[in-house]
Structure formats: C-alpha cells, structure tokens
Amino acid sequence: MQGPALDHEVRTLAGAPRSLADYRGQVLLIVNTASQCGLTPQYHALEALHQRFRGRGFSVLGFPCNDFGAQEPGSPEEIQQFCATRFQINFPLFEKVKAKGDKSPLYRTLTEELPEGLRGEIKWNFTKFLVGKDGRVSHRFEPQIEPLAPEVMQAVERALSA
C-alpha cells in the first residue's frame, strides 16, 4: 500500500512533473532546504548520505523553501546552480514548497496528517522526514540534527533492512 508521503505530485526544480509514487519501494529523506541559511552546510552531509546509501535504494529529496527567514530567494536556475557548484548535489531537487501558512500539499501531509510525534509545524530549514519503503514516515529529525548523526544513520540502516 502506498503511504501518504507518496500520494503527491510535485515538480522538479527544472519544472517537470514528478509523482512521488515513482519512489515506491525506496527509503527517502525529505528535507526542506535553503541556500542562505546557517544550516546550509548540511547540504554536504545530505549529499554524503545520499551517496553512501543510494545503491541500496535510498535517496535524499530536497525541497527548497523560502518560508524561514526568506533564506531561499533564488529562482530555480539559481538554486540549481548554487547546489551544483557549491555542494556538488546529485540528489533530486524540486520546486520551492510552502512549509507553513498556505502549505504545499506534501508539507500539509507531513505537518498535519502524520501520527502524533511526527506531525507538527516545521520550525526551520533542514527539517528531515525519513520515509520507509512502504511510503510511510517513520522518523522526523529537527533542523539541528546533522544528516550524518548516529540516530539518522541508524534509522536509515533500519529502514533499508526492513
């Protein structure tokens, strides 16, 4: 059965439509990103995590977001250029989302429709949601938790082994 995190149509940063259902059977880390945030260096660790586990059916999915401190003001082209040249990002990047206020459908699901302990308002950039092979969110990691932190690595390993 497809989980609620996969029940969304999104657009790539280049503007092409993409169904998150295409990722069914994979483990995903969905992250709201920003290019001008104090946490922007987490892009390095997100790419390292992506590279480490991608051969086992894992992907980071980046969703630029300008909701917190207006720290993602760029156009899709500027975001792509920044991520490619500054951080050599190879994981998929999507069009900007609204993670608060009039939320994008994916972020409405992540903040309002998940079980207790996972749902709740996004506090800042680089909030991470781990989605299992079944499409269901199993973990939420707040912005200050580094992508290569032991708790994230262990959760990814468990999800890949499930």
Q: Which residues are catalytic?
A: 37
Tokens coding 52: 């480490």
Contacts of 141 (CB under 8 A, 6+ apart): 127, 128, 129, 130, 149, 151, 152
Q: How far apart are CA 10 and CA 30, in angstroms?
A: 13
**Which of 84, 88, 11, 99 lies closest to 48, judged by CA?**
88
Measuring CA to CA, which residue among 49, 59, 75, 1 is closest to residue 27? 59
In sequence order, the β-bridge partners of residue 137 are 131
- The Cβ-side half-sphere exposure at 1, using a 13 Å CA radius, reads 3
> Do the Cβ atoms of 35 and 82 come closer than 8 Å?
yes
